[in-house]
Amino acid sequence: MLRALLVGAGVLALTTACAAPGTDGVTRAADDWLAAARAKDATTLCRLLTPAAAESAVTGDQTCPQAVSDLRLPGAGPVGQVEVWSDRAQVRAGADTLFLTKIDGDWRVSAAGCTARPGRPYDCEVSG
């Protein structure tokens, strides 16, 4: 019995130790993005975007906040699955999928409002 408990505790410790490294900053950035999307805070959304994504959102004479406020960004649900690969990450939150990139030590959203399309790349409201 004691051996089974120790093995179970060891597996739990390994699972916990392997699941979280490097995800805190990603989770925090995703939470900030989702909160701003729910609040329709376009200025904060633009601040959280990578420069390339902010630039790709703008069309014509619009500013980033004007362009982002026209997008369909769900922001629903809490942060769910987080996957990190070096300086890139993917976060699932409700029906939304976010992609993040680490720039100068900060996690920024490189694509948001993304919907999976089987066998094809994600369809994203903003990306860059």
Show me where the domains of the chain are located: 21-127
For residue 6, name the pLDDT band (cuts at 50, 70, 90).
Answer: very low
| pLDDT top residue among 27 and 16 | 27
Instruction: Give pTM, 2 decimals.
Output: 0.79
Residues 86-117 have pLDDT tens digits of: 999 999 988 789 999 999 999 999 999 898 89
Residue 85, pLDDT > 70, answer yes
- pLDDT number for residue 109: 96
CATH architecture of 21-127: Roll (3.10)
pLDDT of 21 strictly over 60: no
Q: What's the confidence (pLDDT) of residue 70?
A: 82
| CA gap 35, 30 in Å, rounded | 9
Q: Is the pLDDT of residue 126 over 50?
A: yes
Summarize the confidence of residues 43-71 as an average pLDDT. 92
